[in-house]
């Protein structure tokens, strides 16, 4: 699913077309179970059964071209066993028991759709794992965040001066091979996310530049290993979260 195929609207409680009133306890229990599973998956830990799961927001999701699909996105904070994260759970009404299909996204705030997130995750793990001891078997992803929103990434062509620095706007230079594909990229919609990853306690934080293709067939992504920049420069290279919209 390409970014933009889902539109989320904040709501106070699950709409009846997704959760019937008498189903709410079962719905909330399944949200909790899914959130705990996601925290374990991305946090690289065992499921913390005693963790506190608190609601953050609930959004109605409209899927483009499919008005027959009833779906919501729940954001919950999971706290316990030495960790705290914001987990994102997508729930779709289906036939059967229980009457929902749930899937968790990466923790924190990502503008990438769930399919793109699932594609990025093994790529990041593979790249991060290439420079750690072979015995390393653990990883920990903290809350993802947006460092530059769509329209706030400057990708100046070779020879052009970089844009003046300003909060929430980031300059990125494409490598020659990537620059040759510029005509296919919708650079005006590029954005940047930071995925704070650790492998066996070693910082492997990655910034990801995401640029939709003009034909909307896919999204180009460029991984920037922030931890390598830190190591090479001897100082911490931090991309702060983008200012609120």
What are the tens digits of pLDDT across the range 215-239?
A: 988 999 999 999 888 666 655 667 8
Give yes or no: residues 203 and 131 share one domain.
yes
Q: What is the pLDDT of residue 230?
A: 64
Question: How many domains does the chain divide into?
Answer: 2
Dist. CA 30–CA 101, nearest whole Å: 10
Pairing between β-strand 52-63 and β-strand 71-80 as defined by DSSP bridges: antiparallel
Give yes or no: residues 119 and 89 share one domain.
no
The upper half-sphere exposure of residue 83, i.e. CA atoms within 13 Å in the direction of its Cβ, equals 26
Residue (of 199, 193, 197, 195) closest to 130 by Cα position: 199
Model confidence pLDDT, tens digit, residues 72-103: 999 999 999 999 999 999 999 999 999 999 99
Q: What is the pLDDT of residue 216?
A: 85
Q: What is the pTM of this model?
A: 0.89
Give yes or no: residues 81 and 181 share one domain.
no
What lies within 8 Å, CB to CB, of 13 at 6+ separation is 58
Give yes or no: residues 119 and 210 share one domain.
yes
Domain with 97, as residue range(s), is 6-104
Give yes or no: residues 132 and 221 share one domain.
yes
Among candidate residues 104, 139, 166, the one where a domain is terminated? 104
Q: What is the pLDDT of residue 228?
A: 87
Stretch 164-186: mean pLDDT, rounded? 86
């Amino acid at each position: 699913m390409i970014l933009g195929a889902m539109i989320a609207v904040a709501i106070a409680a699950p709409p009846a077309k997704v959760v019937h009133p008498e189903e709410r306890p079962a719905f909330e229990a399944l949200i909790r179970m899914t959130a705990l599973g996601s925290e374990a998956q991305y946090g690289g830990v065992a499921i913390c059964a005693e963790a506190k799961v608190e609601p953050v927001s609930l959004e109605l999701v409209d899927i483009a071209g499919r008005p027959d699909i009833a779906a919501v996105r729940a954001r919950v904070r999971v706290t316990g066993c030495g960790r705290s994260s914001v987990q994102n759970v997508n729930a779709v009404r289906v036939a059967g028991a229980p009457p929902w299909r749930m899937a968790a996204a990466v923790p924190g705030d990502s503008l990438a759709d769930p399919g793109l997130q699932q594609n990025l995750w093994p790529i990041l793990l593979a790249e991060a794992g290439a420079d750690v001891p072979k015995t390393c078997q653990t990883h920990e992803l903290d809350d993802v965040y947006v460092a530059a929103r769509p329209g706030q990434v400057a990708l100046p062509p070779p020879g052009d001066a970089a844009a003046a620095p300003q909060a929430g706007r980031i300059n990125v230079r494409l490598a020659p091979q990537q620059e040759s594909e510029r005509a296919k990229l919708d650079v005006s919609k590029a954005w940047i996310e930071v995925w704070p990853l650790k492998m066996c306690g070693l910082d492997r934080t990655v910034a990801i530049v995401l640029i939709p293709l003009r034909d909307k067939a896919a999204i180009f992504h460029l991984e920037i290993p922030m931890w390598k920049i830190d190591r090479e420069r001897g100082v911490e290279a931090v991309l702060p979260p983008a200012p609120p919209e």
